[in-house]
């Protein structure tokens, strides 16, 4: 029996090691933002299917909306001039105006024409009365006046005019944007080519989902998560697989990844014996920055490999996820031409208590209670993958110390604000 005794657990076992230069989150973000620039070329894609793409040019309307003045309701159209204060009776003019079937003639002053929603206002019509407000027979309509001039009509160009910028360059297209662009007369759109992002997992323990794990094996949880995150963000993915902790295998995978615009790796990013990513990036790449004052997260390696930026994420899935949302997402957005992105944060009352120590930013797995309070996953253990799935977002706690009691305002970052579909 040796005389060795294990070291006692320290009270503050998560304290930052002395003498280490931890980069605050905001500084790391600033550095990233300054270091990167858009890399994607332009291409033209059909409007149908352009959702998720990023506009490479501002779009100016080719057609106004509405293109001509039209009826906002089903009813009867006439010249306002012919109406007065009290009850109004107008003889009916023969014919009707419908959407896509305009009335060809002119409606004489003092007469009313049957008109349907979306129909271009015929000459002689500037006002429409709702059919429900009318008494009608074969030859006339009657309604209570007064009616406002222009009632129930839409002015040409009231939504947007020809030549007006409807969307800026860098806009990330969503389904409602396609409606806007279709209405503006667009059929093809100038967009940035999708960013190509490669994903690599590293670790001798990693087992492909579906395979039988060997001794000490665990399933590769990061790759399915990261690949689908990237797809949700509109990037093209390159799967570099899970590689063992072997510098040659990792080098080969990184070389293949260098064809992409960016590489996300997970695992092996610390400075330990088996941390081959950071070792390789240091000896053969350019490791520019790491050790971010962030929980969960450290270490994060930011490096260049044969000209391609590498985001060396921590292996543990919770930290890998948080670092991807906080660092990789805005960085990739910037590279894709969409511009730097800041996650949506809403201030809500805490539904938990916590005494936060100073020195690093913390992200807690969280979700909203029906009352709108942020509740957090009971365990902060960064190995708890189930907490990621339990959560609908993150609570972001500042670098400084913070005493949180029930009701303390905290910053809640919904997953949806990171481009993930809400439940």
**Residues engaged in binding ligand AMP (CB under 6 A):** 201, 203, 205-206, 218, 220-222, 266-270, 314-317
What's the min distance (Å) between Cβ of 27 and ligand AMP? 23
* 269 interacts with, out of ligand AMP, Mg ion, none, CB within 5 to 8 A per kind: ligand AMP
Closer to ligand AMP by CB, 203 or 393: give it: 203
Closer to Mg ion by CB, 234 or 285: give it: 285
* 375 interacts with, out of Mg ion, ligand AMP, none, CB within 5 to 8 A per kind: none
What's the min distance (Å) between Cβ of 253 and Mg ion? 14
What's the min distance (Å) between Cβ of 417 and ligand AMP? 25
Instruction: Please provide the DSSP assignment of 284-334 as one string.
Output: HSEEEE--EEEETT---EEEEETTEEEEEE-SSHHHHHHHIIIIIHHHHHH
Q: Tokens 């100073």 sit at which residue?
A: 358
Closer to Mg ion by CB, 77 or 315: give it: 315
What's the min distance (Å) between Cβ of 380 and ligand AMP? 16
What's the min distance (Å) between Cβ of 221 and ligand AMP? 4
* 177 interacts with, out of Mg ion, ligand AMP, none, CB within 5 to 8 A per kind: none
Q: CB-based burial of residue 294 (10 Å sphere; 0-12 exposed, 13-18 middle, 19+ buried)?
A: buried
* 23 interacts with, out of Mg ion, ligand AMP, none, CB within 5 to 8 A per kind: none
Closer to ligand AMP by CB, 166 or 279: give it: 279
* 309 interacts with, out of Mg ion, ligand AMP, none, CB within 5 to 8 A per kind: none
* 314 interacts with, out of Mg ion, ligand AMP, none, CB within 5 to 8 A per kind: ligand AMP
What's the min distance (Å) between Cβ of 36 and ligand AMP? 24
What's the min distance (Å) between Cβ of 395 and ligand AMP? 23
Closer to ligand AMP by CB, 58 or 381: give it: 381
* 316 interacts with, out of Mg ion, ligand AMP, none, CB within 5 to 8 A per kind: ligand AMP
| Distance, CA of 317 to CA of 323 (rounded, Å) | 10
Phi then psi dihedrals of residue 101, to 5 deg: -135, 75
Closer to ligand AMP by CB, 233 or 321: give it: 321
Count Cα atoms within 13 angstroms, Cβ side, for 362: 20
Residue pair 319/381 in contact by the 8 Å Cβ criterion: no
Cβ-closest position to ligand AMP: 315
What's the min distance (Å) between Cβ of 155 and ligand AMP? 58
Q: If you count DSSP H runs as helices and E runs as strands, how many of each does the chain have, helices first?
A: 8, 29
In sequence order, the 6+-apart residues with CB closer than 8 A to the CB of 329 are 233, 341, 343, 418, 419
Closer to ligand AMP by CB, 23 or 266: give it: 266
| Distance, CA of 212 to CA of 245 (rounded, Å) | 19
Q: In this structure, what is the dihedral angle of CA atoms 365, 366, 367, 373, given to the nearest 10 degrees?
A: 180
What's the min distance (Å) between Cβ of 267 and ligand AMP? 3
* 330 interacts with, out of ligand AMP, Mg ion, none, CB within 5 to 8 A per kind: none
Closer to ligand AMP by CB, 270 or 324: give it: 270
Interface residues with Mg ion (CB under 5 A) are 203, 267-268, 315
Closer to ligand AMP by CB, 153 or 222: give it: 222
Neighbour order of strands in the sheet with 75-78: 127-130, 75-78, 112-115, 87-97, 140-144, 135-136
* 266 interacts with, out of ligand AMP, Mg ion, none, CB within 5 to 8 A per kind: ligand AMP
Strands 188-192 and 135-136 come out as unpaired
Residue pair 395/363 in contact by the 8 Å Cβ criterion: yes
Q: What is the helix, strand, coil percentage profile of the chain, to 5? A: 20, 30, 45
| Distance, CA of 155 to CA of 121 (rounded, Å) | 10
In sequence order, the 6+-apart residues with CB closer than 8 A to the CB of 212 are none
Closer to Mg ion by CB, 266 or 341: give it: 266
* 65 interacts with, out of ligand AMP, Mg ion, none, CB within 5 to 8 A per kind: none
Q: Which of 328, 337, 366, 336 is nearest to 349 (CA)?
A: 366
The alpha carbon of 274 is separated from its chain's Cα centroid by a whole number of angstroms, namely 35
What's the min distance (Å) between Cβ of 346 and Mg ion? 36
């Amino acid at each position: 029996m040796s005389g060795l005794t294990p070291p006692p657990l320290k009270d503050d076992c998560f304290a930052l090691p002395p003498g280490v230069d931890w980069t605050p989150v905001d500084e790391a973000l600033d550095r990233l933002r300054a270091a990167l620039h858009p890399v994607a070329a332009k291409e033209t894609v059909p409007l149908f299917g352009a959702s998720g793409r990023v506009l490479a040019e501002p779009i100016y309307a080719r057609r106004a909306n509405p293109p001509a003045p039209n009826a906002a309701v089903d009813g009867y159209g006439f010249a306002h001039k012919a109406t007065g204060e009290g009850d109004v009776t107008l003889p009916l003019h023969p014919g009707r105006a419908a959407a896509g079937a305009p009335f060809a003639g002119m409606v004489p002053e003092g007469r009313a024409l049957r008109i349907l929603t979306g129909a271009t206002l015929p000459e002689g019509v500037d006002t429409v009365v709702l059919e429900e407000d009318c008494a009608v027979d074969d030859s006339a309509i009657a309604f209570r006046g007064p009616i406002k001039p222009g009632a129930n009509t839409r002015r040409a160009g009231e939504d947007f005019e020809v030549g007006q910028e409807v969307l800026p360059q860098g806009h990330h297209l969503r389904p409602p944007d396609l409606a806007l662009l279709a209405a503006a007369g667009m059929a093809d759109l100038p967009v940035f080519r999708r960013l190509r992002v490669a994903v690599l997992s590293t670790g001798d323990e990693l087992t492909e989902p579906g395979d039988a794990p060997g001794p000490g094996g665990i399933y590769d949880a990061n790759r399915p998560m990261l690949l689908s995150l990237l797809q949700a963000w509109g990037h093209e993915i390159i799967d570099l697989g899970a590689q063992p902790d072997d510098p040659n295998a990792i080098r080969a995978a990184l070389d293949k990844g260098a064809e992409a615009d960016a590489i996300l790796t997970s695992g092996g990013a610390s400075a330990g014996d088996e941390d081959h990513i950071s070792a390789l990036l240091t000896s053969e790449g350019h490791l520019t920055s790491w050790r971010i004052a962030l929980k969960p997260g450290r270490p994060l390696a930011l490096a260049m490999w044969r000209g391609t930026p590498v985001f060396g994420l921590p292996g543990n899935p919770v930290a890998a996820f948080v670092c991807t949302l906080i660092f990789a997402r805005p960085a990739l957005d910037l590279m894709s031409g969409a511009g730097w992105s800041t996650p949506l944060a809403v201030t809500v009352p805490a539904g938990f208590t916590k005494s936060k120590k100073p020195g690093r930013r913390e992200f807690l797995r969280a979700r909203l209670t029906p009352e709108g309070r942020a509740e957090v996953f009971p365990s902060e253990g960064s190995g708890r993958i189930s907490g990621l799935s339990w959560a609908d977002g993150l609570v972001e706690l500042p670098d400084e110390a913070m005493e949180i009691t029930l009701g303390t305002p905290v910053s809640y970052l919904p997953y949806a604000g990171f481009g993930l579909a809400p439940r």
